[in-house]
Amino acid sequence: MSVKPQPLYASLEENIGYIKTALGNSDDIVIREIRIGSEGQFRAGICYTTGLTDIQSANDFINETLNLNLQKADTETTGIDLPLLKDSLHSAGDIEAVTDFGPLLLSLLSGSLILLLDGYPQGFSIEMCGGERRSVSEPVNEAVVRGPRESFTESLHTNVALIRRKINDPNLWLESKRIGRVTKTNIVIMYINGIANDKIVEEVRARLDRIDIDAILESGYIEELIQDEAYSPFPTIYNSERPDVIAAQLLEGKIAILVNGTPFVLVVPALFISFFHSAEDYYQRADISSLIRLLRFIGIMIALLGPSLYIAITTFHQEMLPTQLLISLASQREGVPFPAFIEALMMEITFEILREAGIRMPRTIGQAVSIVGTLVIGQAAVDAGIVSAAMVIVVSITAISSFVFPSINMSISIRMLRFPLMGLAASFGIFGIIVGIIALVLHLCSLRSFGVPYMSPFAPMTIPDLKDTLIRMPHWALFSRPRLINQKNVIREQTAQPSKPQPRE
């Protein structure tokens, strides 16, 4: 519930009483009345929140900084010069004058220290945020062989600093917002002025301003509330836990949205092809990166179409198989009572259950249960004649291929689409699969992310931007930014192809 506008009182007792009442006399709110000044002639109140405020800094401020600066600011006993006191207290931290209980309570619950003076209807909010925070660690979901080993944390200030370390440019601008009527979560919009498209920046501001909700607990709330298409299986907002990935996206002209309390940063606009690129693609040589990227796309096709093709070929198009393979498959399926579609459906659902169980179980046993469960259930199902050995192989390869996705969001989308494609294959064979793929392509081409075509640079076709899609050209060839995202500052590199060294005579 938002606090109604209420100016501070001149009486210290009334101010403290209002704070206690507004916060329900909560035990974690520390309120101390102290005497300050050269002779202790002034009464003051100190308020802070246990666990959110740096206690050591608060004690140092009370015992040393406050009295010392107050003596310098005013040696008279008639009163305190508030502007002079505010200027003298800047060494303690960012200080801000507050005259209303709304901003005062918000600052207090955000970790700031509140200074109240008896006889003055004004207080000071001094930033002393502290408490327990998770340190910067290695990325969990976006691991790489070569590249930085740092990831975002739940602290917004730490995340902003991690990006600032990558981009030391004054044009990297930040805008802060508070979203959530109850949580009042701090949101930061980050973009590079002169590179980011002003229309997209304005659209991001407008969509965030339209959010009216009680709580924002994770960036997924923001993602769902500002996305372009609510009923599409494909994500239209990119997210990452790696500072180097977000820095690279900002340099392309995109906008980052950081949410306090989560290590995942959102990026808009998002392109379909971006979900299949890994940070490591840009740290290896171009030929190695291109080979790995092509291998990744092959794995993606297997993850999407593997079971569907097996069902279609074994059910409708047996003539496509070599005779020896056809005989082998027929002998395996001789005692299986279910059609190929039911086989695949049972195995896929079983594997999805094992995958989910492995994630939710305690880390010490989750991996062992998922691996052992898959092997035991697969072998037992074959021995019992419920499924064929070939189906177990197909489902296993499909499951392994689904782990090549750098983005977990796109991996989930492909896993979802696998089931309707299996149904089309069981009903109409390869013709059904082709119809399903055509429908998917049409749907993808209809999507937009903050006004940018989702399938660019393929649709619409932008030849210069194809240098970093299915393969990656060398860095010296990537001299331009994506044109549909950025129109103001397209050229990012003026160097030409490096010349070959001349032989020494």
Report pLDDT digits (tens) over 275-307: 999 888 899 898 999 999 999 999 999 999 999
Q: Is residue 375 part of a domain?
A: yes
Distance, in Å, from the CA atom of 83 to the CA atom of 73, rounded to the nearest integer, reads: 9
The model's pTM: 0.85
Task: Decide if 66 contacts 60 (C-beta within 8 A).
Answer: no
- Residues 298, 256, single domain; the answer is no
Neighbouring C-beta atoms of residue 72, cutoff 10 Å: 11
**Do 262 and 290 sit in the same domain of this protein?**
no
Give the per-residue pLDDT at 1: 45
Domain boundary among 453, 472, 496: 453
Give the pLDDT band (50/70/90) at residue 75: very low
- Choose between 51 and 308: higher pLDDT: 308
* Residues 397, 325 within the same domain: yes
Residues 82 and 218 in one domain: no
Last residue of a domain, which of 414, 429, 453?
453
Q: Is residue 357 part of a domain?
A: yes
pLDDT (tens digit per residue) in 247-264? 999 999 899 999 998 999
Tokens matching residue 321: 């198989």
28 and 73 share one domain: yes
- Quick one: 93 and 160 in the same domain? no
The overall average pLDDT reported for the chain is: 84
* Alpha carbon distance 300, 296 (integer Å): 6
Is residue 382 one of the residues assigned to a domain?
yes
Angle 85-31-97 (CA atoms, 0-180°, nearest 5)? 30
**Per this entry, what is the length of the chain?**
505
- One domain for residues 419 and 300: yes
Tokens read off for 45: 């109140």
Domains identified in the chain, total number: 3
Instruction: Please report, for residues 247, 289, 292, 405, 412, the alpha-carbon distance to residue 280 in angstroms, rounded to integers and kept in the order given.
Output: 14, 8, 10, 13, 22
Q: Which amino acid, residue 63?
A: N
Integer CA distances (angstroms), 309 to 284, 285, 299, 424, in order: 34, 35, 14, 10
The pairs formed by 354-359 with CB atoms below 8 angstroms and a separation of 24 or more are 355/399
- pLDDT band at residue 229 using 50, 70 and 90 as cut-offs: confident
CA-CA distances (angstroms) from residue 296 to 10, 273, 289, 305?
67, 12, 10, 14
Confidence of residue 40 (pLDDT cuts 50, 70, 90): low
Residue 133 lies in a domain: no
> Of all residues in the chain, what percent carry a pLDDT higher than 90?
33
Q: Lowest-pLDDT range, 225-229, 299-303, 387-391? A: 387-391
Whether residue 411 contacts residue 313, with contact meaning beta carbons closer than 8 Å, is answered with no
Burial class (CB within 10 angstroms; exposed 0-12, middle 13-18, buried 19+) of 425:
buried
Residues 339 and 435 in one domain: yes
CA distances from 197 to 172, 194, 237, 238, 268 (A): 13, 8, 17, 17, 11
What secondary structure does DSSP assign to 266-316, as a single string? EEES--GGGGG--GGGGTS-HHHHHHHHHHHHHHHHHHHHHHHHHHHHHHT
Task: Choose the most confident range, by mean pLDDT, from 231-245, 316-330, 344-358, 378-392.
Answer: 231-245
Please report the pLDDT score of residue 449 as a whole number: 92
Note the pLDDT tens digit of each residue in 5-37: 788 888 888 889 998 888 888 888 888 888 776
Same domain, 27 and 176: no
Contact 437, 430 (CB under 8 A): no
Q: Which domain holds residue 92?
A: 12-126
User: Rounded mean pLDDT of 170-180?
Assistant: 91
pLDDT tens digit string along 93-127? 678 888 888 888 888 888 888 888 888 888 888 88
pLDDT at 63 over 80: no
pLDDT digits (tens, 9 = 90+) for 333-342: 787 888 889 9
Q: 26 and 167: one domain?
A: no
139-167 per-position pLDDT tens digit: 888 888 888 889 999 888 889 999 999 99
Average pLDDT over residues 191-201: 90
Are 333 and 231 within one domain? no
Say if residue 118 is in the same domain as residue 257: no
What are the tokens at 103? 């901003």
